[in-house]
Structure 1
Amino acid sequence: MRRGEAVEVFNVSKMFGTYQALDQVSFTIKENEFFTLLGPSGCGKTTLLRMIAGFERPSEGSISLFGAEIASLPPHKRHVNTVFQSYALFPHMSLEQNIAFGLENLGWAKAKRQARVAEMLELVHMSDFAKRRPDQLSGGQRQRIALARALAPEPQVLLLDEPLSALDLKLRQAMRDELRALQRKTGITFVFVTHDQDEALDMSDRICVLGQGQIQQIGTPSDIYEEPQNRFVADFIGATNFLEAEVVSLNGDQAQIRTALGLEFTAAQKGVQGPGAATMSLRPEKIGLEEQASGNVFTGTIRSRNYMGGFTHYAVETAGITLQVSRRNALSHAESYDIGREVKLGFRDESVRVLGQ
């Protein structure tokens, strides 16, 4: 393993009976990185996290932590800790006792243990609640204590298994900021599992998109959203319009395409093998309406409208195709377009991605 790599997963597969949960998965996680495993239910992300933690063993392949093979080690001999969705706090203990419990088992001296507990409570802004029990806290406060307890033994890597999913929307959004700030402050490598695309895009340095037990793409949030490598990634991350297209010619990473909208232009391509059928991906917010329409311009008819505060989402029919179009409400009481109205639409070549079949 090269310097600066915290975790290396190499050719890992996992079978449960005849079911293959993971198939030849390989990637590295950098030191001090916030790395997210993202995918739908059943894609293998939690199984992968549990193998790094030691709760599951790979059927084949290897897992290393800072250069040392750990696939055969039991959980308590790995310098990792896990924060679970359920928090798993001891209900009969105070918050400071919850944090101290693991340190006591590790043989930390009393004075060192007390200092570390105080430091952790201050880190998560819970010093005033030290004597309380978990049932006297809100969901967000319990989450902070679960994080403090997991960070207290100074793990090399912190594993987080959908830790925000039990919180309501407002609290979940606030905890995203706290979790990211906590990772930056401690400098510990975080490996975060979620099915929530917004969480992944908001917090991650890099995202690993998993689907059907395989890696679909690894990259920065911007890479994943703006440069999807296949239809699975484009479909899973955010909303998009998929349109049938014909690749007329290829020139490196550019494709000359003809679309079902009757337009022909050049766009970036991913995984297209040659001239022939392909799929065009176009994000709803990349399509301009009326005065914002530019580039490849055409007309359509508004079929539905949904006001969502920051955006208004339209379904626009054109050439027998329904496109989803998102318009930012940049001004208060900005003009909205009535159902049945004919409008001008447009998008630029660089907004399109052409994906192989």
Structure 2
Amino acid sequence: MKDLNAVEVIEVSKSFGTFDALSSVSFDIRENEFFTMLGPSGCGKTTLLRMMAGFETPDRGSLRLHGRNIVDIPPHKRRVNTVFQSYALFPHMTLEQNVAFGLENLGWDRARIKARVGEILDRVHMGQFATRKPAQLSGGQRQRVALARALAPEPEVLLLDEPLSALDLKLRQAMRDELRSLQRDTGITFVFVTHDQEEALDMSDRIAVLGGGKVQQIGTPTEIYEEPVNRFVADFVGETNFLDVEVLEAADHRATVRTPFGRVIEIPAPVDVGKGDATLSIRPEKLSLGDQVEGIDFTAEVLQKHYLGGYTHYVLEANGTQLRASRRNASREGDTIAVGSTVHVGFVEHSARVLSS
């Protein structure tokens, strides 16, 4: 028998008054996958998560959990748990009481609850604090307890609604590693919602980029970053340069284009790119400078320079077109390219991409 997907979203639409939050959205989430819904505010990602949890109902379409339609099943009867941004811990209860609360409501016997609470608190490295209350913990520790409480009933799917956004930078980075390890260790399907591109790229098996109530692209982190299918994805995920180009020929996912620098090159393109005006995307780190130049070669003036420790970022102008470039500072002396100087710039053809609108 073919394995079922953990979650199936089928032609889901949702409106709030005159605002269309979601429009005929469809995708599958695989069993044991760390799946991220990524997008700006208002794109529909949290609405989708709330539908999976049972807190919202679609106007049209259906959602399936391991093949079973769950649209009409109330939240407490779905084997789905949610980790909220606010943690939502009971302040008057100890950590072990917080984790045990849901298990008691499910009717687990006392011995089984005690064993499971101890096991799951140890798994999130909070066993030694079991008798403390939430007010005695740091933000990162409270987040671990919220995870433990959600994982304790052994849900089929764990929903995570921007759970790291309240933490400081270093703690967010540490918690990303812990979340990834937890997902691998438990084998539970994680569905993660965030607007933070770095979080999504770091943790996910696959990412769904949402914009305007629609799925713009689904793919692995590498596919989303290196092979965006349209301008929205290229612009939202990471930094990029957009150049106006003319497509001379297009076939078999390739396009021959004339660049603003007068060069004609052949580069990757989505299937719906035709002849005429188009947009070329190239990431700043794909541009090589000075003695590192390779591939297509042209000259540019250095307008600005920003030293950021490991990298130096540049604003360049070539034939009336501004570009951003990043160069790694491999030596202690840093970069010697000066503002106002003329520098050789290059890129290999396959690192650029022609985009659909």
TM-score, normalised by the number of residues in structure 2:
0.98
Alignment of 1:180-329 (within 5 A): 180-329=180-329
Q: Say if 1:282 and 1:351, in contact at 8 Å, map to a contact too.
A: yes
**Matches of 2:291 and 2:183, distance apart in 1:** 43
- 1:94 partner amino acid: T
Q: Verify: 1:104 aligned to 2:104, yes or no.
A: yes
Equivalent residue number for residue 17 of structure 2: 17
Q: Say if 1:310 and 1:328, in contact at 8 Å, map to a contact too.
A: yes
- 1:61 partner amino acid: G
Equivalent residue number for residue 171 of structure 1: 171
Q: Secondary structure at the match of 2:42?
A: coil
**Matches of 1:17 and 1:78, distance apart in 2:** 28
C-alpha displacement of 1:334: 2.7
C-alpha displacement of 1:331: 2.3
Equivalent residue number for residue 6 of structure 1: 6
Question: Larger deviation: 255-264 or 192-201?
Answer: 255-264
Q: Secondary structure at the match of 1:5?
A: coil
Q: Secondary structure at the match of 2:119?
A: helix
- 1:186 partner amino acid: T
- 2:313 partner amino acid: H
Alignment of 1:57-76 (within 5 A): 57-76=57-76
Unaligned runs of 5+ in 1: none
Q: Secondary structure at the match of 2:202?
A: helix
TM-score, normalised by the number of residues in structure 1:
0.98
Alignment of 1:136-151 (within 5 A): 136-151=136-151
Kindly, what percent of the aligned residue pairs are identical? 64
Q: Say if 2:14 and 2:60, in contact at 8 Å, map to a contact too.
A: yes
Equivalent residue number for residue 349 of structure 2: 349
C-alpha displacement of 1:271: 4.3
**Matches of 1:330 and 1:5, distance apart in 2:** 45
Runs of at least 4 residues off by over 6 Å: none
Aligned length: 357
C-alpha displacement of 1:2: 5.1
**Matches of 1:11 and 1:119, distance apart in 2:** 40
Q: Say if 1:8 and 1:29, in contact at 8 Å, map to a contact too.
A: yes
Unaligned runs of 5+ in 2: none
C-alpha displacement of 1:81: 0.1
Q: Secondary structure at the match of 1:327?
A: strand
**Matches of 1:41 and 1:179, distance apart in 2:** 23
Q: Say if 1:271 and 1:355, in contact at 8 Å, map to a contact too.
A: no
Q: Verify: 1:77 aligned to 2:69, yes or no.
A: no
Q: Secondary structure at the match of 2:6?
A: strand
Q: Deviations over 1:231-280 (max 9, x none)?
A: 00000000000000000011311100001121111000024442111100
Q: Say if 2:83 and 2:163, in contact at 8 Å, map to a contact too.
A: yes
**Matches of 2:131 and 2:223, distance apart in 1:** 45
Question: Are the structure 2 counterparts of residues 71 and 330 from structure 1 closer, same or farther at C-alpha, using a change threshold of 3 Å?
Answer: same
Q: Deviations over 1:187-210 (max 9, x none)?
A: 000000000000000000000000
**Matches of 1:296 and 1:111, distance apart in 2:** 69
Q: Say if 2:250 and 2:275, in contact at 8 Å, map to a contact too.
A: yes
